[in-house]
A and B are shown apart, each in its own frame.
Chain A
Amino acid sequence: MKYLLLIHQGDSPTPRSPEAWATLSEDEQKAVYADYQAINQAPGVTPGLGLDAPETATTVRVQDGRTLTTDGPFVELKEAVGGYLLFEADDLDAAIELAARIPAARLGGAIEVRPIVEW
């Protein structure tokens, strides 16, 4: 099975907002980096490319042949995807266990695990 793990930062502190990031102790900050690094190197993981902040997103729609753009992500800023990775695993349990190791999951965000359809 292949899974796409969508990382939603939600309220979790990231280095992008220095004030929130500072609420973590130095050890916690180091642990966040170390955890992401370990996950990216875990067997079966294909790390995602880095996404810039959801604030930089542009949402595009086409209505009556006209291209309409709005500033920001499709969903609420807080609900936007902050990152992703691909994971090849035996079953959903393995994907859930990996998802639970992603720091965002324990810091106020959430991980959405989506199976990838193989044709």
Chain B
Amino acid sequence: MVTILEQVFRDQWGRVLAALIGFLGDFDLAEEAAQEAFAIAAARWPRDGVPDNPGAWLVTTARNRAIDRIRRDRTLATKTRMLQVAEPDEAIVTATTFPDERLELIFTCCHPALAVDAQVALVLRTLGGLTTVQIAHAFLVPEATMAQRLVRAKRKIKAAGIPFRVPPQHLLPERLVTVLAVVYLIFNEGYGGRGELAAEALLLGRALAELMPSEPEVHGLLAMMLLLDARREARFRDDEIVLLADQDRSLWDEAQIADGRAVLDRALALHGHGPYVVQAAIASLHADEPRDWPQIAALYGELARLTESPVVELSRAVAVAEALGPEQGLDIVDRLALEDYHYLHSTRGELLRRLGRPIEARDAYRRALALVHDDAERRLLERRLAELETSTGPTR
């Protein structure tokens, strides 16, 4: 029973909360009511059984609780007004279905008038159902800081009049960029090691793909996340980073790769050619053996054109080095203004090593080491440096 409850919670929290926020127009009130409803469910369902439509049951229960609360709290004029607006809508929640307003919710949480860290926290709290403590731990910030961040964001939504809606057509493209960036950011945090965030990002990606089936970039993002995440198990061995070329392919999740490719096909069928679709296509090519380096290099070129990002140029340099030779790769690397980026120096180090220039390679690896923060990345660089020094003999 506990697991069924957890599953229902997992599946329904976002939808239930979104419907309640849409109905009540107040994040805090909706959250309290949703929590109460889930608590009642936890007490009642083991005894009475799970209702046919758990989501609708939860929304109805939560809504009734919220209305009770508002009635007890009549002195608050704004809430009373809200109740007057709310009551005629009764029909929508007594039915067995209730409106899916998760899209309204995610666009509200990702409104550009909120800071990015607030957007991320709100999405995880409201749609993901993570607790403040869980979010704080995932982002390595003190709980009080995260609580404060959520309180401030919710207060701003209300005070500044951030609308609860899917943006109108003329605002949609830029707002969608923000939403996708938030999901990708959550995924990236998780990809760096904290798996629960990557799983959360995948759930959000799936929900978005379901809610916005005709947006190619939504499918592109989901495909990219699925394809990258499919290699998760192979990326670390005994806590050490394993580079793609050295990964044990039997650890790749083949089913998920197939799933990612199917999602990518959908994005391509919609004529998608935005940055996420291109990144998904690159991730798909990386899952092939042998890898089609000229094609990968060409796609990185396309991505660099779309994003104007020197970091993407660096990836292109790696692909060009594989396709044409280290010299050609190094030419690109040496034109990039990324002096403070440790991957620039580790890439230079690797290319110089292949070119038989070990002294320069060693210096490049040392510069990378001086810039790296992540422990696993540091150990990888130290191993590379040690290999270089045994192969070249004692230096200096």
Contact = CB atoms under 8 A, between A and B. Distances in A.
B195 interface: no
A96 interface: yes
Nearest to B170: A97
Nearest to A119: B77
B290 interface: no
A115 B163 contact: no
Interface stretch (B31-39, B122-130, B154-162, B347-355): B154-162
B186 to A, nearest CB: 24
Given A91-B163, A92-B111, 10 more contacts: A3-B161, A91-B161, A91-B162, A92-B113, A92-B161, A92-B162, A92-B163, A93-B167, A115-B160, A117-B159
A115 B113 contact: no
A93 B171 contact: yes
Contacts of B161: 1, 3, 89-92, 95, 115
Interface residues of B, number: 9
A59 B162 CA distance: 34
A92 B160 contact: yes
Contacts of B160: 92, 113, 115
A90 B167 CA distance: 13
Contacts of B171: 93
Q: Size class of A's contact patch?
A: 10 to 19
Contacts of A96: 113
Nearest to B77: A119
A93 B164 CA distance: 11
A74 to B, nearest CB: 23
B144 to A, nearest CB: 26
Contacts of A92: 111, 113, 160-163
A90 B163 CA distance: 8
Residue among B111, B113, B161, B171 with the highest chain A CB neighbour number at 10 A = B161
A6 B36 CA distance: 42
Contacts of B167: 93
A96 B175 CA distance: 13
Nearest to B163: A91
Nearest to A96: B113
A106 to B, nearest CB: 16
A49 B187 CA distance: 49
Contacts of A91: 161-163
Contacts of A115: 159-161
A95 B171 CA distance: 14
A1 B113 CA distance: 16
A113 to B, nearest CB: 8
A112 to B, nearest CB: 12
Nearest to A117: B159
Residue among A1, A91, A93 with the highest chain B CB neighbour number at 10 A = A93
A48 B167 CA distance: 29
Interface string B90-117: 0000000000000000000001010000
Interface in A76-119: 89-93, 95-96, 113, 115, 117
Contacts of B162: 91-93
A90 B168 CA distance: 14
Contacts of B163: 90-93
